[in-house]
Amino acid sequence: MEIIIQPDAEAATAVASHIVSQLLRNKPNAVLGLATGRTTVGLYRVLAQMKLDWSGVTTFNLDEYVGLPPEHAQSYHTFMRENLFRHVNVSPENTHIPDGTSGNIVELCEQYETQIRAAGGIDLQILGIGTDGHIGFNEPTSSLASRTRLKTLTQQTHEDNACYFGGADKVPDHVITMGLGTIMEARQCLLLAFGAKKARAIASTVEGPITSINPASILQMHPKVTVCLDRAAAADLKRADYYRWAYANKPGWQKF
Ligand code: GLP
């Protein structure tokens, strides 16, 4: 893992946007794995401002709420349309988000995995992290080998996302999410976390044991992960000085 600690979210987002834009410039037909949530809003804004060519890019989103139609204000279809897709020249037929209204979720999940494989696999998976350590919607105790499937949200995630729905009890209970095994097959992962509320989950992910109680910790087994943090999200890291030194003294040959 490469841990990059920046003074604030804006600076951490700038580093992350550089990684994504480099990929799109070097590989115009790149396959991107996309995340939703507050953390990614700034990243998508910066990427849209960069006027990159998205015409050959294929995208797969991590997750969607079960029961929310694409046009619902809180669906991840709407989030992606409003925050990224309508600002760039990506072809709608190249964007993929699980359909939360599907009548056959088991089949949909299998198809999603097939579509990712048919696209050649994900080159770069963008990730946020939940306060309970979830990536995508892989809640604590998710199988570390899991594939795209139906999951039940924890009480913690209901509370974290209550503000979007006007109450924790109004947050859908079920979601469709790529699995941890699916995420681990991406050729590169880019994890972003900002704010003090993420500090504990980040410390467990980077420095804790690999355990399904903290699903993001499986990323320790991935060969190419970059973690972009602001100072607050890095606050509980015991080896922060080492990460800062390593990044500041990164040899030229190692720079992206
Ligand atoms: C959400 C999403 C995740 C996201 C995480 C953090 O519920 N399913 O993909 O990374 O929780 O969200 P936020 O960035 O709003 O803190």
**Best mutation site among 137, 154, 171, 183 for ligand 1 pocket (most ligand atoms within 8 Å of CB):** 137
Amino acid making up residue 112 = Y
Q: How many CA atoms lie within 13 A of 107 on its CB side?
A: 4
Cβ(61) – ligand 1 distance below 6 Å = no
- Give the model's confidence band at 127: pLDDT under 50 very low, under 70 low, under 90 confident, else very high: very high
pLDDT digits (tens, 9 = 90+) for 187-242: 999 999 999 999 999 999 999 999 999 999 999 999 999 999 999 999 999 999 99
Q: Which of 103-112, 140-149, 177-186, 247-256 has the lowest mean pLDDT?
A: 247-256
Q: In sequence order, what are the beta bridge partners of 4?
A: 228
Nearest-Å Rg of the Cα atoms of the chain is 17
Q: What predicted TM-score, i.e. pTM, was given to this entire model?
A: 0.97
**Does residue 251 carry a pLDDT above 90?**
no
Whether residue 37 has its Cβ less than 6 Å from ligand 1: yes
pLDDT class for 134, splitting at 50, 70, 90? very high
Average pLDDT, the chain: 97
| Confidence check: pLDDT of 254 > 90 | no
CA distance 154 to 160: 10
Q: 172: Cβ below 6 Å to ligand 1?
A: no
User: Is 139 noted as a catalytic residue in this protein?
Assistant: yes
pLDDT of residue 252: 80
CB 68 within 8 A of CB 175: no
pLDDT over 60 at 256, yes or no: no
Mutate which of 134, 192, 198, 230 for ligand 1? The one with the most ligand atoms within 8 Å of its CB, which is 134
Q: Is 83 in the pocket of ligand 1 (CB under 6 A)?
A: no
The token pair that represents 64 in the structure block: 């969607």
- Measured in Å, residue 160 CA sits from the centre of ligand 1 at 9
Q: What is the pLDDT of residue 48?
A: 98
What is the mean predicted confidence (pLDDT) over 132-157? 98
CA of 77 to the centre of ligand 1 (A): 14
Residue 134 catalytic?
yes
| 1-47 pLDDT per residue, tens | 999 999 999 999 999 999 999 999 999 999 999 999 999 999 999 99
Mean pLDDT of 234-254: 93
Distance 120 CA to ligand 1 centre (A): 26
* pLDDT of 137 higher than 60: yes
- pLDDT, residue 255, reads 63
Would you mind telling me the total number of residues written for the chain in this entry?
256
- Does ligand 1 come within 6 angstroms of the Cβ of 161? yes
User: Average of pLDDT values for 104-117?
Assistant: 98
Q: What is the mean pLDDT of residues 129-141?
A: 98
Where are the extended beta strands (E) located within 74-173? 95-96, 124-127, 149-152
Sheet holding 124-127, edge to edge: 2-6, 225-230, 189-193, 124-127, 31-34, 58-61, 95-96
Of the candidates 64, 99, 123, 132, the residue annotated as catalytic is: 132
Which pLDDT score is estimated for 110?
98
Residue nearest to atom 9 of ligand 1 (CA): 136
Nearest CA to ligand 1 atom 1: 37
